[in-house]
Chain A
């Protein structure tokens, strides 16, 4: 996506309206004296319970007329103390907490967390496990972007994409459910492998989804990409330069829309992402419209990655063959003394970690998702489990992005950042 192929010719030129017609009235040049009213800035509170804040975000805006002078986000309305709770849980018990953090793309969080713990412990997962996790992560990237697409479209007044997106999301819900038994709170990964191998027919189900999904995506594309209203609401709104975007810590599609080709999958590759054939879409204007285009293109690229991953999915075991890490099978557990002891030790004590700390970043659906775990020698619980929250850092730029725009643009800017409050507040 080197150049933007859709340009609204009239743009934001104040003298020209939609369709290129002049909006400035010919009477305007006459000298109309400034009314002698006292003016003052107005404070407007949006949230914490507001449909357009995508959660329990609270924005306090200072307005001059309809122009935003400053906006102060207040967060913490969903602070669930995940990180404190993690210090009281063994390594595997933390997995269920991770998907409650970002409930829009839960499997990415499951995978990122165990990948970080595995790196800390020096565990090499099996080849099948790697590919299965790639499948999970790319599927949930689509899952997360779809929800973003639906809710953002509602914010600019289009309800149809929401229904289209949720139809496709229902299909991924079903895949989640077949794989893990839950629709959102998947908790699918374990240190050293997965909770369970892929169920029979799952790959066929995913392939079927991949066949049908681009059709819907193209439909939404037709609804929004060339839509004059959508273009008018997004082009030139909330723009940020590449250098500023890096300095402000933007990551993910928000950063790439500003023209920085930073993708963790390419720049700090994990799970052989460098061997997959996919493009990283990069925008050039850094505005809401480019963020939209980047996400749309990323979904297409995820479909490509998924197809390649399905093609190279090998057989073999999914969990590492180490009794100190992976649980033995139930059959072994009931019939074999040694397996039972291992089972007992793993359940009651947990996996022992070496001393050290590990920061592992993956490309989440919102941006760079970092998992930082700190352990002491032999500890079965983390000393510190820290999540580097992509949307937390992304949201902190809203003050800069929204300054000078209208209040209605603020809603669009907030939506285009793709935030999830569960992860911002943790």
Chain B
């Protein structure tokens, strides 16, 4: 903040989240870093190059970065292998550092072995696509929809990939991306106008209920919604 020429606190809000002065990301991380987490050693021996790197964060939490191309294969193994059995997918979320990539983060827990593991996949910002894990954990259903809604990450094979928190025809983009301003892209007047023009009965159609098969393309009044890429 010191070298930022903002004159008042309100300006700082307008500027958005500022990068901190020292910007070292993953500096303490290396694939060779020792970890006594039994899953990490097994993952590295089994998948080799599929495990990009791993580290211990916040004292005792093991994080593994995996190759997004192999993510489904690795996660399937983590769920089904007798030595792993991560049967509980606690959380699926995204992290945007404001750089060229968006991370998808999986928090897993094994009720058999009482172990937690965090798996992250770094996706390039211009190709935000990853395999869905709904087939493995049903809990990922809404969580992946939320990541799609707020980050714009597409989950291949998700049965019902629609916006979940924002309205279906929301045209301002993906709110949790760093390039999205806090107050949205449109003026307040325009936001109010769009809000009042919403059809509050929109979801009555049976086609909306009968999801399944291919992900539904979000449309507003017949035309594809802008901002949903």
Contact = CB atoms under 8 A, between A and B. Distances in A.
Partners in one complex: yes
A76 B201 CA distance: 15
A376 B25 contact: yes
B107 A383 contact: no
A85 B182 contact: yes
Given A386-B91, A396-B142, 18 more contacts: A45-B204, A58-B203, A62-B206, A70-B209, A72-B203, A85-B182, A88-B17, A244-B138, A247-B87, A247-B139, A248-B138, A251-B90, A358-B61, A359-B107, A359-B118, A368-B90, A374-B95, A425-B165
Interface in B45-73: 57-59, 61, 63
A247 B138 contact: yes
Contacts of A74: 203
Contacts of B27: 355, 377
B25 A355 contact: yes
B89 interface: yes
A120 to B, nearest CB: 5
Interface stretch (A140-148, A260-268, A315-323): A260-268
A359 B61 contact: yes
B114 interface: yes
B75 interface: no
A251 B91 CA distance: 12
Contact of B63 (A357, A380, A388, A426): A357
B74 interface: no
7 contacts: A70-B209, A79-B166, A88-B16, A122-B59, A248-B138, A392-B143, A425-B165
A264 to B, nearest CB: 9
B216 to A, nearest CB: 12
Contacts, number: 153
B58 A358 contact: yes
Nearest to B9: A348
A381 interface: yes
Nearest to A373: B58
A372 interface: yes
Contacts of B201: 45
Contacts of A119: 58-59
Interface residues of A, number: 60
Given A75-B165, A386-B91, A262 B111 contact: yes
B220 interface: no
A84 interface: yes
A201 interface: no
B169 interface: no
Given A76-B167, A262-B111, A355-B27, A60 B203 contact: yes
A244 B180 CA distance: 38
Contacts of B19: 376
A246 interface: yes
Interface string A314-356: 0000000000000000000000000000000000010000011
B131 interface: no
Given A88-B182, A392-B142, A393-B139, A372 B93 contact: yes
A357 B59 CA distance: 10
A83 interface: yes
- Of the listed residues A75, A249, A370, the one surrounded by the most CB atoms of chain B closer than 10 A to its CB is A249
A79 B149 CA distance: 12
B21 interface: yes
Interface in A367-405: 368, 370, 372, 374, 376-381, 383-384, 386, 388, 392-393, 395-397, 400
B44 to A, nearest CB: 20
A137 interface: no
A6 interface: no
Given A359-B61, A374-B95, A383-B97, A249 B166 contact: no
Contacts of A396: 138-139, 141-142
A349 B21 CA distance: 12
A79 B163 CA distance: 12
Contact of B90 (A60, A370, A425): A370
Contacts of A251: 90
A104 interface: no
